[in-house]
Amino acid sequence: MAAAASRPDRAYHQDYICRIRYENNLPPPPGSVKLLDIPIDGLDYYASPGFASRLHRSQPINIEADAELGMPINLVGMPGVFDGDESSIQAPLITPPVNPKDKNLLRPLSELGKPKYQGGGISFLRRTEYISSDTARARSEAASKSTPKSPGPKLRKPVDTSKDDPINVLRAVVKGFDIANPEDAYTGPDSNENVKGLDPTPAELEAWNEPKHPLKSSLKPIDFYPILPDLDAGTDAGDYMVAKFSTNPTHVANKHDTRVDVGLLRPIDDEAMLAEYSAKIAAHEADPTRTPHPGGAPFNYNFFLPTDEASAINLRKKLDVYDPDRDNPDLYTAKNRDGKEVFRLERQRTYETGRATAQDPNHAYKEIAIALHDPELDVITQDGVHDADDPPQQRLEKGAYYYPIMQKIQLKPHRSKNLAQLGGASRFIDEDDDKRVDAWDVTVDDLDDNEKAKRSSHRAELLGEEEDAADDES
């Protein structure tokens, strides 16, 4: 064991094999490099103006171009350029759609030219392997057997363009009403004046008689509500506005503050802001492709709330036309300087419009709010029992009533400190103590003749009474 331990390590002979893939078998040059002076007198010929002139005459432009080649540099005639308005020489804010014929011209450089084949599994650094025609053929056969055959390209079903015809769309809409109300279905001859609905399929009739949830088939409907307009709940403008606070408008955090339900948003008159908004509207109407619609008017609002929850409850009773105690003068909780009974709403803070969206007046019912109403579920008295001698008055029948939404705004608190740093605080009325309104006295009265006329016009427009009257006169 001692002799084996003292034996030196045996040295093994190893060869380093390096394969040179690219060899230069050319012999070195027989002599030294010789530098020659080559005249370059032709450069003066190509750089002379005469060469460019002859080239221009021999190669005429094959396009029709004006003297400025489509890039006018004369600013005379551009509207508003010398007044500081450079919109006429700038690109439009709304990018116009690209013509399908020009899409090939906008391809990136990587997609130009012939498509390059990139073989898979081949890299610059790879291990040494023998390549022969037999090996390549066997590999291709094995790959073809292991790889499933891809199905051919799916053929797109031909689109029936006649379905997009307005008359056919109207027939499909009428078919839905005929399924819901078969007794009122029109069965006369089909014409442009009297459109006859399409024939419903058995599947459509079954879907109407036995409705199913599209995702959960186990769910069953428990009640149905017809969709109806609320004709007596119109406003002076005929539509509604949805206001959402970005933060909690009151200090009540653990429950819903019922005072917010009867809160009052009073817009602040700001002539500078309205003038700027009117200018944006005029610019949009002049050229909608360059100037987008600015949305709703960016008003600032003062937010008022009743002094306590009891005042909010009394104000709700006063606003309910079917409440038996609405004419009770004891509902008012305060008196003004003249001694008149009023509801006093105190100013909470000023809000500014963070984001506003307005609907197109021509599409008034693009967004609607729906309220479900069932007379049997209404609670009239506090104990939940209807008086048999005095049955409750119901303004509406059972249905899902919709209300058009023409504007949605997000209200965020007005930061007067930040505006003061920017030098814009003096623009707002709430910063002026002499003009700021700290409280608002509210009384509830019946509609006057002017307000009734406005609501009647919206009601007649919704029912189509004006069109019927015009047809009768003609």
Place of tokens 């013509």: 99
Residue 392 tokens read as: 């409750």
Buried b (16+ CB within 10 A) or exposed e, 258-296: ebbebbeeeebebeebeeebeeeeebeeeeeebbeebbb
Please give the backbone phi and psi of residue 170, each rounded to the nearest 5 degrees, phi first. -65, -35
Give strand ranges (E) for 234-313.
240-245, 264-268, 300-306
Distance CA 237, CA 139 (A): 78
Closest to 267 (Cα-Cα) out of 351, 345, 347: 351
Helices (H), 356-433: 416-421
Partners of residue 376 on adjacent β-strands:
none
Cβ(378)–Cβ(364) below 8 Å: no
Distance CA 263, CA 243 (A): 12
Task: Tell me what pLDDT residue 148 has.
Answer: 55
pTM of the model: 0.54
Task: Tell me what pLDDT residue 425 has.
Answer: 43
Q: Report CA-CA distances (Å) from 375 to 344, 383, 390.
A: 33, 17, 15
Cβ(315)–Cβ(358) below 8 Å: no
Place of tokens 């809160």: 263
Distance CA 458, CA 467 (A): 13
Ordered mean pLDDT values, 10 residues apiece, the chain (474 residues): 54 76 77 79 81 82 70 75 79 80 82 58 52 56 56 55 76 89 87 85 88 86 88 82 88 87 86 83 83 76 90 89 84 88 90 80 80 76 43 73 88 66 44 71 87 85 58 46
Residue 62 tokens read as: 């094959």
Task: Tell me what pLDDT residue 376 has.
Answer: 80
Look up residue 176 and give its DSSP letter.
H
Task: Tell me what pLDDT residue 400 has.
Answer: 92
Task: Tell me what pLDDT residue 393 has.
Answer: 57
